[in-house]
Amino acid sequence: MYGTEVIDPDVPLNAAESADYDAALAGSAAAGERPAHASFDALIEADQRVEPRDDMPSAYRKTLIRQIAQHAHSEVIGMQPEGSWVTRAPSLRRKAILIAKVQDEAGHGLYLYSAAETLGIDRAELLDMLHDGRQKYSSIFNYPTLTWADCGAIGWLVDGAAIMNQVPLCRCSYGPYARAMIRVCKEESFHQRQGFEILWNLMRGTDAQRAMAQDAANRWWGPALMMFGPHDTGDAAQGGGHTEQSMAWGIKRFSNDDLRQRFVDMMVLQADRLGLTLPDPDLRWNEERGHWDFGAIDWDEFRRVLKGDGPCNAERISHRRRAHDEGAWVREAATAYAAKQAARATSATRSTDRLHAAEPAA
Ligand code: FAQ
C-alpha cells in the first residue's frame, strides 16, 4: 500500500499548498507594474520589487547576500544527510524518488547562487566563504541520518519548516530572490509529501518500523524548531538579530517566532494523523491564544551547532570541500567550453559584419 492512496491530495499539507502561496504567486505576477525611476524608499513604501539595477543601500545588499548565500549553502549541504541513503533506500521506487529530491536541492542551490550573483558577488567567492567558515548554512544539516525513517522525518519536518519560512519569501522585496522562492516552494512541497508518505507507511508497518519512525521524529523535532532562528519577539528575544531591519525592508515578512508557531500548529495535527507523538511534554492547546503552547528550545545546543560543534559539522564541511576539489575539472571544462562558444560567436559576428560591409550600397 502506498501512502498516496490515503493522504488526501486536496488537503493542504504545508504552507506552499495554502492560500498564502497563491497570494504570493498572484502578487509576483502583478509586481512588474511599478513606477518608473522610483527610488529605493518609494519601492519599499509601495511594496514593490527592487530589481538588480535599482539603487539600493549597501546594507540592504549586504543583508541579502548574507541571507541568500546562507540559504544556497543550506540547500547544497542539505543534500548530504539524505544523499547518504540513496544507495540504501528500501526499494527502487524509493531510490528514484530520493535521487530526484536530492537533485532538486542542488537545483535550488543553483537558483539561489544565481539570485545572489545579481547583487554583484561571484559564486566562487560565496563558495570560498562557505568552505572557510565565513558564511553559515542551516544548523539542521549538522545532524546525522541514522535510519531510513530519518529521510521521512527530514521530508516531513525539515522541508515542512523550510516551506513555512520560505512561502513569505516569495513576497520578498528583492525580485530575483522572490521569484526563485516561488519555484523552490512548489518543489519543497512535493518533498514534504514524500517525507510524510515514508512515515505514514512506516507507522502502518511492523512494531520495529513504528519505533524507528518515532525515534526519528524524536530526534528531528527540536532541531526543526531551531531552523526558524533565535527568538525575536517578546521577553525571550535577546536583541541584536536581523528581523526588525529585514522586516522594515520587506525581506522578512514575519518574525522567526511567528513562523515557528505556525509550524507547530500545523505539525501537531499532522503528527496526530500519522500516529506519532511529538517529543514535548509541554505541548498543549491554549484556548486563549488560539495556538499550541510548546516547551523551551535548547538554545545552548543551537549555539554549539552554529559554532561548529554539532554532531556532523566537521563531516559535512570536509565532504563539501572534497566534492568542490574533485569537481574542479568540471568547472575548468565548462569555462573552456563557454570561452570557445563566445569566441565562435564573436568570429561569426565579424564575418557577418564583413559581408555587410562588402555589399554594394543600394
Ligand atoms: N542555522 O536575526 P536572525 C532547507 C543565524 S533550506 C544557522 O533571525 P536572519 C531546504 C543568522 O544567520 C534551510 N544559522 O537572522 C532543504 C544570524 O547570524 P549572522 C535554510 C542561523 O537571517 C530541506 C543569527 O543566527 N533556509 O531546509 C539559523 O534574519 C531538506 C541571528 O538570526 C533558509 O536559509 C539556523 N537555523 O533569519 C534542503 C531560508 N537561524 O548571519 C535539503 C532563508 C538563525 O548574523 C533537505 N533564511 N541563524 O551571523 C532565512 O529566512 C533567515 O536567514 C533565517 C534567519 C530565518 C534562517
Dihedral, CA atoms, 346, 352, 353, 356, nearest 10 degrees? 180
Query: Which ligand 1 atom is at minimum distance from the Cα of 68?
Result: 43
What is the full DSSP assignment across 217-283? HHHHHHHHHHTT-S--STTT--S--SHHHHHHTTS-SS-HHHHHHHHHHHHHHHHHHHTPPPS-TT-
Query: Which ligand 1 atom is at minimum distance from the Cα of 165?
Result: 51
Residues with CB under 6 A from ligand 1: 66-67, 70-71, 74-75, 78, 105, 136, 138-139, 154, 158-159, 162, 165-166, 226-230, 232, 241-243, 246, 252, 256, 306
Quick: pLDDT tens for 266-325: 999 999 999 999 999 999 999 999 999 999 999 999 999 999 999 999 999 999 999 999
Q: Are 51 and 43 in contact (CB under 8 A)?
A: no
In one-letter notation, the amino acid at residue 337 is Y
| Pocket probe mutation, ligand 1, options 66, 74, 258, 305, max atoms within 8 Å of Cβ | 74
For residue 170, the number of C-alpha atoms closer than 13 Å in the C-beta half-sphere is: 25
Give pLDDT, residue 1.
41
What is the per-residue burial (b if ≥16 Cβ within 10 Å, else e) of 315-338? ebbebbeeebeeeeeeeeeeeeee
Strand, coil or helix: what is 134? coil
Give pLDDT, residue 270.
96
Q: Give the span between the Cα atoms of 260 and 61, in whole angstroms.
A: 26
| Pocket probe mutation, ligand 1, options 136, 233, 263, 301, max atoms within 8 Å of Cβ | 136
Give pLDDT, residue 235.
86
Q: Are 171 and 182 in contact (CB under 8 A)?
A: no
Residues 6+ apart with CB under 8 A from 154: 81, 82, 145, 195, 220
- Cα torsion 114, 172, 81, 7: sign: negative
CA of 152 to the centre of ligand 1 (A): 22
Q: Give the span between the Cα atoms of 256 and 253, in whole angstroms.
A: 10
Question: Distance between alpha carbon 113 and the CA centroid of its chain, in Å?
Answer: 12
Q: Which residues of the chain have a pLDDT value below 50?
A: 1-2
Q: Copy the grid coordinates of residue 255.
A: 518574525
Give pLDDT, residue 362.
56
Give pLDDT, residue 3.
52
Q: Give the span between the Cα atoms of 76 and 54, in whole angstroms.
A: 29
